[in-house]
Structure 1
């Protein structure tokens, strides 16, 4: 019974994954599939649809292009997800979220050259909810678009406030989700938010994951060029974990590559990671792209990156993500003006 369904799902995936042309662009589609079987998972259409929908969300949360059979324990998970989504929707609408900021530091002189805005959520009912838990819910529900715009608006206003206080922070960096990236009129929306805040667009940076920009590379190039035309600095996040084509990389108007922390962790002891990081730095510099290392936690990692001409780093060695007032104290301390460890 379930074997027959699995074979059917395989055929569905085969059809769905077939690339197709739309307005001169080659596109492809992903699918998350939930399966509920009669009669064990329900004896009426309404119950079967509800349980297959629950299984589909479980598949979505497990990754891309997956399918899941319904299991009874999913009901508890679905109830938790619905509560989380409801509370998150209220938090986004009511401003019950907070931004923390993690510095990016120059390896040349130890100065803070940018800070990345990271959303945090402390709920009266649920307590502190980690991003790894609520971001997937925001993406699955479509809330990520409103959440992303809220983060951008708050980050721009915070940068404007710091600048008014005389704090010379060159860039504020914001993450862009793959759903946001696919929104129509993205550049116009961002231009309006930037204008509303009063900051120079050249002071804003956007981080986009490797997987997001490779979904439809030809369309991606147009979107990136529109953002670049505003003066925004563009970074390719988590580089090395996805499937970037180097032929596309040289066509994307990217200013920075962020090497994923999985390559940095054993950089001073693992020859494969050393070779990978050294090659990424050399390739990026050849293309005129600056390099940021993520997840730097030790002096040995920092020494290796400095020796191999990495441009910037980010990680707990310098600072964890901090609330705005705590980061401001870091700006004002002597440590922020001298070469870091």
Structure 2
């Protein structure tokens, strides 16, 4: 039997994830890349400005009609919130204050979480570690859709609905795929978020709360930014399970498009990932890449060969006993 086989519509592989070996090769050839690792001094200031901007927006939308609340939630607030989710993604790798100050990073992620309206930063950190450690791991990587998702969301209209419901699946899929014990930080995250939501409600009423949460839901569902959810690891080309995107939307998404580089070097902040490609271009320039997140969404919905099951899966030693 070869290293790849199709089973249950997923592509099952019997090799380790490619990033481990490539990281070793690149570091051996370009040890200067190690200097890019560590805290990014710009991140905390940019995130703080974004959070402050959203709180100002909460004041500005309090007297708008409901249709304008939803308009600005999608056109502006949701873009900021989606960007903040990607800042939290960066912070989960301790790049705000460095590995020596992990607790500062956790609390700063809670701060960045406030405009999103629902607590998730602590839970994201908990599961995102496994996404890197066990990329594509069956029953370990909660980024992989469930069998039900793959079975039901198989037509263009259903796949469009699946994209719209992305926030719901990301929130609840871990509870079915790989439930982990609730941590103390998750409780702090929830209590802090609840306290701030209550404060906003008492100051300015319900509309700012709806503005924040609606923006989060709408702009992590059907939105150009959301193309990165599909672009990162869905199999647009057989044999390649991670893809990068080098287009202009990276300017507003903390360079999450540099996803091959990110999985090779997760301890390097998004701001510095372009330097990885610049230092070691022969490892990235010839790999398949996406040129438009909007095109990614279009192809995912309307190509018969694409769907939630268009992912690579593997079994890690940690979960061999389950089979």
Q: Normalising by the residue count of structure 1, what TM-score does the alignment of the two structures yield?
A: 0.27
The structure richer in strand per residue is 1
The structure richer in helix per residue is 2
Considering Cα pairs closer than 8 Å and 6+ residues apart, tell me whether 1 or 2 has the greater RCO.
2
Q: Which has the greater radius of gyration?
A: 1
